[in-house]
Amino acid sequence: MINKGDMRKLSMDELHRISKEEFGKAEKLPIIIVLDNIRSLSNVGAFFRTADAFRIGELLLCGITACPPQREIHKTALGADETVKWRYFETTEAACRALKTEGYKIYAVEQVEGSVALQDFVFEPHTAYILGNEVEGVSDEALPFCDGAIELPQEGTKHSINVSVCAGIVMWKIFEMLNLKPK
């Protein structure tokens, strides 16, 4: 254990962060995160930043979800909007149809009948995870395409947590389970 007096922040060199060019060439998790009509540009930026941190393969931005370049997205993403691969779909249904054609399994991150608690879910490669609108959750148009659902157990008075926070928890769990270590 480190004494409190011996703690210091690591420098950027000590963190061994890779450049944008190295990130572009680096192995990514074979995972897609689908943003289903996310309203807040700050939330969208947070998705990009977290996807960069855990080397998520791609983001699909659907419906009213804003796309880069946008000042508010860039401000929150801290440049990850320039490193993380993304595509835009006019509807989440269109994104789901494309994912099924590409051979992906799709899971909603949503409180639905038959959902599996996050800690009990087994993450697999070549899978997409849909996170829904801040008020409505995953859209009814997307649910029929889902092979199942994951739910984050909660014990507070609120029925949900912020979508970008939820996404961060899910992406960390995927990163942990699929064990992609930076090289």
**pLDDT tens readout for residues 69-97:** 999 999 999 999 999 999 999 999 999 99
Q: By CB neighbour count within 10 A (0-12 exposed, 13-18 middle, 19+ buried), where does 16 fall?
A: exposed
Instruction: Please say whether the beta carbons of 91 and 141 come within 8 A.
Output: yes
Instruction: Indicate the class that CATH gives domain 22-152+159-178.
Output: alpha beta
The whole-number pLDDT of residue 182 equals 47
What tokens does 90 get?
A: 């006019």
Say which residues have a Cβ less than 8 Å from residue 82's Cβ, sequence separation at least 6.
20, 68
Mean pLDDT of 136-150: 98
pLDDT at 13 over 60: yes
Number of Cβ atoms within 10 Å of the Cβ of 102? 10
- DSSP for 50-104, written as a single string: HHHHTTEEEEEEETT---SS-HHHHHHHTTGGGTS-EEEESSHHHHHHHHHHTT-
Give me the mean pLDDT over the 49-56 stretch. Answer: 97
pTM higher than the cut 0.75:
yes
Query: Can you state the percent helix, strand and coil of the chain, rounding each to 5?
Result: 35, 20, 40
- Give residue 1's pLDDT band: very low, low, confident or very high (50, 70, 90): low
Distance in angstroms (rounded) separating the CA atoms of residues 62 and 88: 6
Sign of CA dihedral 75, 81, 87, 93: negative
